[in-house]
Structure 1
């Protein structure tokens, strides 16, 4: 995160579980010194999200956005403001939501090569997390 910001890249952080978003935003603010607003899907209507991003993010020079990937899966063209995407959590192994969310950054108007950083685990932990997060129950 710090490296991306130091390179002048704006970062969008996807968090699947809504309950974790405020804590994640606080931790990001403490670690980077940058404000990390949250785009709440239930508080900002779909038709108003693009204007909200223009006003609250672009207009205020914010460089970090914490968001649930479902909130950006429909046509938000102004997300090219972000050039880096960090997946804090796996999007329930739904490749469609993941592709749509990343597609909001990789589109016409993006001036930088988009970078996507998935959650990082190693060794046994990686095998366990992948197995658990990609297995459907029921």
Structure 2
């Protein structure tokens, strides 16, 4: 039974991370931790790293702790919650830093409608250079309006 339960825990954790990401982005990153996120909203940031990159470290801590406590004394459900968070973090990196912001030039030209919609929604998010009046705070969920009129 546990062997079937562990993949379900991982998948549910991964899906839950979209909601957690949306809330964290809107209320924490665009709230009291804006000073860490602000440089990410400035046009053409020139550094290799941004202060915003600290969020990768901050969000990795729960995953690391869950891995640690998920193997003591035997592997348990905490490990798979940590694994779900890790999978979401890797997906976030690939979507946000590689595909959208092109910090690494791996996927420059995509014709995938979903990925184009993701880029449009994120561009609208970055249209706001301050912490107020933002929209599109999630990563994987994109409102339908960003898929309309796509020429692929």
Same fold per superposition (TM over 0.5): no
Point out the structure with the larger helix share: 2
Q: Given the two structures, how large is their TM-score scaled by the length of structure 2?
A: 0.26
Higher radius of gyration, 1 or 2: 2
